[in-house]
Amino acid sequence: MRHLVLLIAIATLSLQSCNSSQAKDNDEQSDIKKTAVVESPVQDPVGQSGSVKLTKDVFLKQVWDYQSSPREWVYKGDKPALIDFYADWCGPCKIASPILDEISKEYSGKIYVYKIDTQVERELASVFGISGIPAFLYIPVDGKPVMMSGIARSKEDTKKMFIDNIEKYLLASK
């Protein structure tokens, strides 16, 4: 029994995520910083742009129009993509964000790295059944996307997790 409790504790610590029920109250939500929304997925050619924040309208035009094809995944992008579902109040999301900005620069021209604020874009979060954050959707150009959630124990392990998943799910030759 002690071994089982220890195993559960280790598993819990190995991946960190926030449950959506951990959201702060509405007063704190009103203090969320407003950020500019980039209307194009095109990464800065020099690799300086970082992650691109998506709205529902941009998502429908450039990722998947789930209103026109709700039962069939049809990716509209020309490169693989990684979408970070996050919220400003989420601790693990705050850890993942700068790592994903680094990743977007390192993989500039090879993949798109998008961000969706689940507190602002509730419909998009609902479409994917997001109940815990951070959640990450890996979208290959061809084939079905893969959803994962949580981050690793350290920043280094989290970056390695992203790189391994990008290489496995987005860039692996078929």
| Active-site entry in 54, 81, 83, 90 | 90
CA-closest candidate to residue 137, choices 162, 102, 158, 160: 162
Q: Are 166 and 108 in contact (CB under 8 A)?
A: no
Residue partners of 3: CB distance under 8 A and separation at least 6: none
Residue 7 Cα distances to 1, 2, 64, 77, angstroms: 10, 9, 39, 41
Q: Is 18 among the residues known to form the active site?
A: no
| Active-site entry in 38, 63, 87, 93 | 93
Q: Is 93 among the residues known to form the active site?
A: yes
Active site residues: 90, 93
